[in-house]
Structures are given as C-alpha cells and as structure tokens.
Structure 1
Amino acid sequence: MIQKDGEIHEDVTHRIKTGWLKWRNASRVLCDSKIPLKLKGKFYRTAIRPALLYDSKCWAVKYQHEQKTSVAEMRMLRWMCGHIRKDKIRNKVIRNKIGVVPIEEKVRDTRLRWFGHVRRRPKDAPVRRVDEIEQLIKKRSRG
C-alpha cells in the first residue's frame, strides 16, 4: 500500500495490525506461564514475525517505521514474559530470555536477500534494465 505521496505509513500500520491479529489468535499459547519462554520465542518467530514482516523487502524504511514495528514487537515480547514497562527490564534482557533478535535486523536481512536476488537476475531482466537506466541517468557532467 503506497500512498499518494509515496510513503508507506499505511502499509506499516497494516502489518502491525496483522501481527496483533495473529498474536490474539495465539495468545492462549503465548501467555501461558507453563510453556517455556524459548518455545514461546520459537512460536513467535514462526507465526507472528512473518505476519509483521510480510513484504518488508520492498519497503523504503524510515526511522519512524522501524520504531513503530520495534515498539509493537517489544510490547508482544514483554507480554509473553509477563512483564510490563514499569518493571524496568531492558529490551536486551527480554530478547535474550526469549531468544529473539531485533526486528530491525530481520528487516535488513530480508531486504539484503531481495537485493541479492535482483543482482543475480540476467542482464536482460526488466528489473536489471531499469537499474542500468538509472545508472546512465546519474552519470552527468559537472555544472
């Protein structure tokens, strides 16, 4: 979902809402204190995070978008552990308990993977031709 001004705010909020929808569907498992945190983390990585990151390889991410997704993820992770922000437990500690890396790193990984796929395409592929046209346009003389 790209807006008229070329921004992706709506797409990011839609992904976050989708992540929360998946969270609500799995809350019985994720909020159960009898289930180990590592298993909850594994379930989170396989069920909820893909819903949050779907199609993020095409995003032109700004700091605001990273911040929004990071806040949503940390709220989910804190809730999984049974903590609130007033407990003043650092994000790194919670991530280590659950075994989850920051979502910003996963977004960067998916974007780099997509970039690698584009670079390995044949020279006559439409994506590569557009890339070559952009390079030709950028080569201008001074002044």
Structure 2
Amino acid sequence: MRVNTTKSEVLAISRQAIECHVSLDDTPLSQVSSLKYLGIEANNKGKIEDEFTSGVKKYDTNTTLLSSHFKDRHMPSRVKVFLYTTNLNRILLHGSETWFTTTKTKSTIQTTEICNFRLIYGVTWRDREALNIEPIIELIERLQSRWYGHVKRKPQDEGVHRILQ
C-alpha cells in the first residue's frame, strides 16, 4: 500500500491540546485540529457535533426543496413516504453508525422527524405508529449495533480494536 505523504494529516484527539510528531518515510505529517474523512468530521476534542449539525442542515435544506411535493394533495402518500425514506432519511443517517448519540442529538433528530411528519401527513408524533414508519432513532441504534458487530468480528490485530479499548 502506498501512502501519499503530501495529503496525509494527523489528528490527535485529547482533552488537552497536545503536539504530535508523526513522520512517514522521514516526511513529517502536518497536525490538524479537525479532519473530514468519508463525510464525517471529527475535531481534536473527539466531538462530531459539527458533522451532525451539518447533516441536520443538509436534511433541512432538502426538506425545503421537497416541501412543495410533500404539500401536494394530489401526490399519493406512498410516493411521499418513498421520497422521505429514500432521500431524507439517507441524508440524515449518513455517518450515523459512528455517532456518539447524546440526549441533545436524539432530541434534535426527533424534532426534525416530527416536523417532517407534520409536513408530509399533517400528523403529530402520536400518530406515527399508524404510518408504519420506523422511528429514525431506532434505525440509528440498529445501524450502530450492526457497525459495532462488524468491528468486533474483525481480527484482533486490526487497528480499530486498539481504538475501541
């Protein structure tokens, strides 16, 4: 495997600011305070709220773009559900496998979900069961469990096991 030393960067995650000196083939790698990789942004404090917030903003932007379709009374509700589950959910769920979900993030997710139910169907959260749509929080928890199982099945000498310990 070849590593491009000009593009590679180091992100040291710690509660206190630390200086990290890493070199590859006698080429020092630059240390950064935040790093975006595969759509997930992490900072040197170990927080991913910035990425979560940008995901919610993308979700809200796309909801606004699709709102004319959701408000259309002539569009069948099954098409609206299809748009919701295939487009909006996927935007919000991107990278959610690795999120550390706090009460605040769960509340934000539920709020955006309820706003969309109200927009699409004109229903409240109490009526969600009648729609037969899995709550997004449960979907995120299922995706996180699946990711954790995937990581646990990896060989013990993989780097991800050192991170989890």
Q: Which runs of 5+ in 1 are unaligned?
A: 84-88, 135-143
- In terms of Rg, which structure is larger? 2
Percent of pairs identical after alignment? 24
Q: Higher strand share goes to which structure?
A: 2
Name the counterpart of 1:91. 125
User: For residues 74 and 5 of structure 1, what CA distance do their matches in structure 2 show?
Assistant: 31
User: For residues 153 and 118 of structure 2, what CA distance do their matches in structure 1 show?
Assistant: 40
Q: Segments of 4+ in structure 1 off by > 4 A?
A: none
Amino acid in the other structure paired with 1:107: I
User: For residues 36 and 44 of structure 1, what CA distance do their matches in structure 2 show?
Assistant: 13
How does 1:1-143 map onto structure 2 within 5 Å?
Answer: 1-81=41-121, 83=122, 90-93=124-127, 95-131=128-164, 134=165
User: For residues 91 and 17 of structure 1, what CA distance do their matches in structure 2 show?
Assistant: 21
Q: Which runs of 5+ in 2 are unaligned?
A: 1-40
TM-score if structure 2 supplies the norm length? Answer: 0.67
Q: Higher helix share goes to which structure?
A: 1
Q: Which structure is higher in RCO with an 8 Å CA cutoff and minimum separation 6? A: 1
User: For residues 77 and 90 of structure 2, what CA distance do their matches in structure 1 show?
Assistant: 19
**1:44 CA displacement:** 0.3
